[in-house]
Amino acid sequence: MTAATSAPAAASRPIVNALSVDVEDYFQVSAFEKRISPDDWEQLPCRVERNVERILALCDAHGAKATFFTLGWIAQRYPGLVRRVADAGHEVASHGHAHRRAHDQHPDEFLRDIARTKALLEDLTGRAVRGYRAPSFSVGPRNPWAFECIAKAGYRYSSSVYPIRHDHYGAPDAPRFPHEIVAGLLEVPVATVQLMKRNWPAGGGGYFRLLPYEVSRWSIARINGVDGQPAIFYFHPWELDPDQPRIGGVPVRTRVRHYLNLHRTESRLARLLRDFRWDRVDRVFLDGGH
């Protein structure tokens, strides 16, 4: 692995950060996989369309562009939604087909999955799909072969590593900033801050809802100001949806992580879009921003 090569932005110009959305519905999250089989997804009420439309409106209101890492399962059922995302000037990227963790697949199976999803999204949008994010950040030390597969499938970048300690994912010893992970493939880790020789989450997800907004704002400002680097932030459409159906029979920790502060997410995102400059992952990290 090589060191990150992107230089700090000029002091006179605020750094442009990368905004990303993992396009999956509430019943597709990994935390519910023991309660809900993919075979049952068709029978559950989908809410992803209305929630993505809310995100598009929010981005439009604040002049922000984003990257939408989209499941192939969603794209097959809502092709018009994928086209609307692309036509609005956002980047459509791949999240694999059915939200299966990369390390739970055989390399050949994984390659077929990500190549299939890339082709589907390109057919729908008429645009090249350059980015991939593994479900649940499931690429790292356990399956380094996955990076070779991502490159072989034709992706230019991956955003599949979260360099933190977590009970379900994380690679705390991985580099914090973009680096060429295999020839021709850039890995763009989700944002972290380093304190007391440890990486702490700064890139969104459940932490954005569970912790006070000021923690996220301070963290991103520190990455921009101290590290001189863009931050990459992510969230899910279902996190803007406090009225989503509740899934029963899940542990207390899972319920708290999934449902706490859903009613605050949209207003917090609006603050985040006002407080920082945001663009697509490909433009920030591949094309050098604006």
Query: Helices in the chain by DSSP H: which ranges?
Result: 48-62, 72-77, 79-87, 107-125, 145-152, 206-210, 213-225, 252-259, 265-275, 281
Can you tell me the distance from the alpha carbon of 222 to that of 158, in angstroms, rounded to the nearest whole number?
A: 24
Cα distance from N-terminal residue to C-terminal residue, the chain: 27
pLDDT tens digit string along 179-207?
999 999 999 999 999 998 899 999 998 99
CATH number at residue 198: 3.20.20.370
Q: Is residue 87 part of a domain?
A: yes
Cα–Cα distance, 220 to 212 (Å, whole number) = 14
The C-alpha atoms of residue 9 and residue 130 are separated, in whole angstroms, by 24
Average pLDDT over residues 11-22: 88
Residue 263 lies inside a defined structural domain of this protein: yes
Sign of the torsion formed by the C-alpha atoms of 17, 18, 21 and 22: negative
Cα(71)–Cα(114) distance, integer angstroms = 10
Distances, alpha carbon 203 to alpha carbons 176, 191, 219, 223, in Å: 11, 4, 9, 11
- pLDDT of 34 reads 86
State how many domains the chain has: 1
Q: Give the model's confidence band at 171: pLDDT under 50 very low, under 70 low, under 90 confident, else very high.
A: confident
| Count of alpha carbons within 13 angstroms of residue 156, beta-carbon side | 10
Find the angle CA(28)-CA(286)-CA(3) to the nearest 5 degrees. Answer: 95
Structure tokens at 159: 């955003």
Would you say residue 5 has pLDDT above 60?
no
| DSSP per-residue string spanning 239-289 | GG-TTSPPPPS--HHHHHHHHTTGGGHHHHHHHHHHHSEEE-HIIIIIS--
Which tokens sit at 195? Answer: 């304190």
Is 224 a member of any domain? yes
pTM over 0.85: yes
10 Å CB burial of residue 245 (0-12, 13-18, 19+) is exposed
- Asked, for residue 4, whether it belongs to a domain, the answer is no
- 185-187 vs 157-158, strand pairing mode: parallel
Residue 5 lies in a domain: no
| Per-residue DSSP letter, 30 | G
Q: Kindly state whether residue 165 falls inside one of the protein's structural domains.
A: yes
Range of the domain at 207: 16-286
Q: In this predicted model, what pLDDT tens digit does every residue of 223-266 receive, in sequence order?
A: 999 999 999 999 999 999 999 999 988 889 888 889 999 999 99
In a domain, 251, yes or no: yes
The pLDDT of residue 41 is above 70: yes
**Does residue 9 sit within a domain?**
no
